[in-house]
Structure 1
């Protein structure tokens, strides 16, 4: 009977023109005909014999996608109007037992997870011609790769919730013993909801590894490389055993792509990309986009570690790190270049590089608060009880200014006055060094005795102390040249030279890998802050930040 016919291909004789439809009004048109509503020739769609056929309980409405493994259709249940997506194997793969096993693996994997962020598969069958198919939920939205192509790189505030939802889905998959093994933007779908919001679903578990109880499948043969070059982990590229950390590596690459608009490695051929993944460390994403916060920068580098044991332990741990990064990036940014927040970020980043669990972050925060308290206490003590070696240098400028009426008659004597002011400002703004108080006192003492001795009306007597005041520092400089040179440099020059010295020491230490990249990243951040600093407080805090950097990365 006609109503029991399951599959009815529609044949088009060669002499019959192929039917098309207007994309606007859906009116049926002959091939090449123009629709009155558009007056534009309609491009014919590829004809498919399955469109309109009934498969099981569903009628195929249209083809919506084609891949290397299968063809995806939109179908509908005619009685209740439920829309579904139906994936069929390509005809040339229908007799391949390995491809059949992959399709079955996908259905089993998805059924084992049962998570909002995983596409649901609820049907499996075989066509009369032998092709297998699966029935899954029909999604309305856009794939992440298409959205990224339209938008370019995304902002940090957009990337963090996407990564969090992916981690939630991965955590559920790993908990069910399923490793995705092909996480990439085209396998992440942004589902559009009625209120205009979106949420994430992971697609295509066709090459997923079922740790148990279906581990011995053709899709998981030892030594076989499965995945996408550029996103597969080094152990996956070598055909070695995979685990949850394999998906976390791909998550790091995906985050890199979302934030920078490109993958960390490129090559003319896919094998060149894979070789670079196995042999090279990725450049920090902040080298390409400076607005990426250090916390997220460090997390991505750790996710992309070549050794699985150096990556985060689980997707849930990554979610905790993302939440902490989101909280820190939402704080006011006016003080982000100061030492206390920078030291907190450095401690957290260095701890994560060394594999410290997130549960120790509260302890690190308490230590940072203690450090801030000690620093503030030291500053208040300097204000209330100044050191005996510093005030004479500060008082020297007003004392010298008393001779300004006499110096108006002798313009050459103004040069020492300018030098004295620079020395006073530098001594007031720079952190005190151990060798400076004694030398400062030696310099100021002659000026205190020399200024009152000459009589004010005589111009010659005023110039003599000034000459002696210049000669005293010269004698001190000849005895110890390096402190004097350091004292005459601006605070910015001193900070930049110190950063250069630390960078040279880091390179000479032979440090390599991820920790060296993170150390260099913080040095570059300190360099930018040093160039932007304008107050003594900022210079002092940057010096303390560099002290902490040196303890973390150079002292073992």
Structure 2
């Protein structure tokens, strides 16, 4: 077919790809002297009245989709029918774009969370334009999403799946079994023959799941298996497939994959806003994987990456300084470390993962878990901070009382103060990083340690006098409460995670 002239105007130069509906060619518009892309729908080639009717209907549908004009939708310039040598197969003439399909990028496994969020939002922008014009895509999948050389999305084949169905009736699946769409990405209502705009969002959910995990939400040996899974099985949370997927991605993707269309985002515009919020929050490193298999090692980016190492070094330095030079020197160094961490935190804000505005579940019942976790984190930070301020002076005073009463030696007092200082610094670092799991673990460990210290102090603190009798138990309770609050968000998240 090379060098063949279609419609007396478009000369085929080289084949770019081939799919179930036909071939895509690079061609030259002889009238305007410009390169274009030509999609030849060989599926509708052939004679007979049924073939003529299918081609006429395809051209009617294609004229509707050709009216779509959007930066993230491939522009259709022209359409027509090829000659008898190609069975009068219809063809579309589109803008020729340079880049590669999203399926190619997926095969290489070099898609980052940032790219997934940005590209997903751009697909939603294209869907918003199409849905406003009354056009559904019906076949969102990686091969229909093209990434240009500038990194922008171009969505291909809007409405072409329906237009190219040679047996389509008005809205139902045909008796021949021809299904409009691709089973691994097909919404339950579309599989039943009743597609709606929200069906495109479900397919986008499948696409995003694949982008961030390297595999589809459902695994099946054939098309029937995929359709059965979409109709009857609940999808897993992306983080259950890859542990480094942030929680907000679970909320967003699982909402897109809701069986009931009413439980998904109300519109593609809402989904776009949610993805834009994720784009501002996610780490930029690529998720390393090979094909659809789970990797043996992953590149994990967290907001504590820049603070964990200096925090650990600072903690060890405080302990060593306290043991060697005494409590005042250790306390001073601990204060300096905290000030430095605060300034680092302000200069380099953490890339935490807040729940995007658009992904908030509408019902009060479903929105409580997110609000509850936020409240728990706030309570954890407040309680842990109070524990820090309460424990240090109480412990210092109790140690002084014990030394005065000759219950402990000076060396034993220094060791006890070093232990107290190290636990307080651990708790303070945890407060700074309370939004991250590592920060809450630090609070839990520091809180347990500070809660146990008063129990040990019963052997040497003069309980009949001074602050030891009154305030040490209070400090222990505050430390234990901060530790308990620190572990509750993790327990709550595990209970709420979909199976």
Query: Which interval holds the TM-score relative to the shorter structure?
Result: 0.5 to 0.7
Q: Contact 2:40–2:92 (CA<8 Å) still a contact in 1?
A: no
Aligned twin of 2:210: 257
The correspondence of residues 225-240 of structure 1 with structure 2, limited to 5 A, is: 225-239=179-193
Aligned twin of 1:140: 98
Return 262-271 or 177-186, whichever deviates more.
Answer: 262-271
Mapped partners of 1:165, 1:350: distance in 2:
15
Mapped partners of 2:486, 2:380: distance in 1:
22
SS of the counterpart of 2:303?
Answer: coil
Indicate whether 1:89 and 2:41 are aligned. yes
Note closer, same or farther for the CA distance 1:491–1:203 as it changes in structure 2 (3 Å cut): same
Indicate whether 1:399 and 2:401 are aligned. yes
Mapped partners of 2:204, 2:155: distance in 1:
12
Note closer, same or farther for the CA distance 1:256–1:85 as it changes in structure 2 (3 Å cut): same
Q: Contact 1:249–1:304 (CA<8 Å) still a contact in 2?
A: yes
SS of the counterpart of 1:135?
Answer: strand
Note closer, same or farther for the CA distance 1:51–1:163 as it changes in structure 2 (3 Å cut): same
Aligned twin of 2:200: 247
- Counterpart among 153, 158, 167 of residue 124 in structure 2: 167
Q: CA deviation at 1:81?
A: 2.0
Note closer, same or farther for the CA distance 1:76–1:400 as it changes in structure 2 (3 Å cut): same
Extract unaligned runs of 5+ from structure 1: 1-47, 211-216, 452-468, 473-482, 507-515, 521-556
Mapped partners of 2:91, 2:142: distance in 1:
22
- Counterpart among 281, 294, 301 of residue 254 in structure 2: 301
Q: CA deviation at 1:230?
A: 1.3
Mapped partners of 2:461, 2:12: distance in 1:
100
Return 125-134 or 98-107, whichever deviates more.
Answer: 98-107
Note closer, same or farther for the CA distance 1:445–1:91 as it changes in structure 2 (3 Å cut): closer
Aligned twin of 1:62: 14
Q: Contact 1:61–1:75 (CA<8 Å) still a contact in 2?
A: yes
Aligned twin of 1:547: none
Note closer, same or farther for the CA distance 1:227–1:101 as it changes in structure 2 (3 Å cut): farther
Q: Deviations over 1:5-63 (max 9, x none)?
A: xxxxxxxxxxxxxxxxxxxxxxxxxxxxxxxxxxxxxxxxxxx4x64446422333333
- Counterpart among 77, 80, 86 of residue 124 in structure 1: 80
The correspondence of residues 311-460 of structure 1 with structure 2, limited to 5 A, is: 311-329=264-282, 333-334=303-304, 352-354=360-362, 395-402=397-404, 447-449=462-464
TM-score (norm: length of structure 1):
0.57
Return 275-284 or 198-207, whichever deviates more.
Answer: 198-207
Mapped partners of 1:304, 1:114: distance in 2:
28
Q: Deviations over 1:303-331 (max 9, x none)?
A: 11111001111111112112222233479
Q: Contact 2:23–2:42 (CA<8 Å) still a contact in 1?
A: yes
Q: CA deviation at 1:282?
A: 1.6
Report the number of matched residues. 393
Q: CA deviation at 1:396?
A: 2.2
Aligned twin of 2:26: 74
State which structure, 1 or 2, has the greater radius of gyration over its C-alpha atoms: 1
Q: Deviations over 1:444-464 (max 9, x none)?
A: 99824389xxxxxxxxxxxxx
Q: CA deviation at 1:113?
A: 1.7
Q: CA deviation at 1:286?
A: 2.2
Q: Contact 1:189–1:201 (CA<8 Å) still a contact in 2?
A: yes
Mapped partners of 1:174, 1:321: distance in 2:
18
Is the helix fraction higher in 1 or 2? 2
TM-score (norm: length of structure 2):
0.63
Q: CA deviation at 1:292?
A: 3.0
SS of the counterpart of 1:69?
Answer: coil
Aligned twin of 2:139: 182
Q: CA deviation at 1:158?
A: 1.7
Larger RCO, structure (CA 8 Å, separation 6 or more): 2
Q: CA deviation at 1:79?
A: 4.9
Q: Contact 1:70–1:90 (CA<8 Å) still a contact in 2?
A: yes
The correspondence of residues 472-511 of structure 1 with structure 2, limited to 5 A, is: 506=495
Mapped partners of 2:304, 2:22: distance in 1:
53
Aligned twin of 1:45: none
Note closer, same or farther for the CA distance 1:425–1:161 as it changes in structure 2 (3 Å cut): closer
Q: Deviations over 1:176-227 (max 9, x none)?
A: 00000100010111233xxxx23221112354569xxxxxx93544134321
Indicate whether 1:281 and 2:234 are aligned. yes
Mapped partners of 1:488, 1:316: distance in 2:
46
Q: Deviations over 1:216-256 (max 9, x none)?
A: x93544134321111011111122x2211100111111111
Mapped partners of 1:289, 1:487: distance in 2:
37
Note closer, same or farther for the CA distance 1:156–1:350 as it changes in structure 2 (3 Å cut): closer
Q: CA deviation at 1:501?
A: 6.6
The correspondence of residues 141-160 of structure 1 with structure 2, limited to 5 A, is: 141-150=99-108, 152-160=109-117
SS of the counterpart of 1:266?
Answer: coil
Q: CA deviation at 1:88?
A: 2.9
Extract unaligned runs of 5+ from structure 2: 285-301, 309-341, 343-348, 428-442
Mapped partners of 1:60, 1:407: distance in 2:
93
Note closer, same or farther for the CA distance 1:245–1:101 as it changes in structure 2 (3 Å cut): farther
Q: CA deviation at 1:495?
A: 6.4
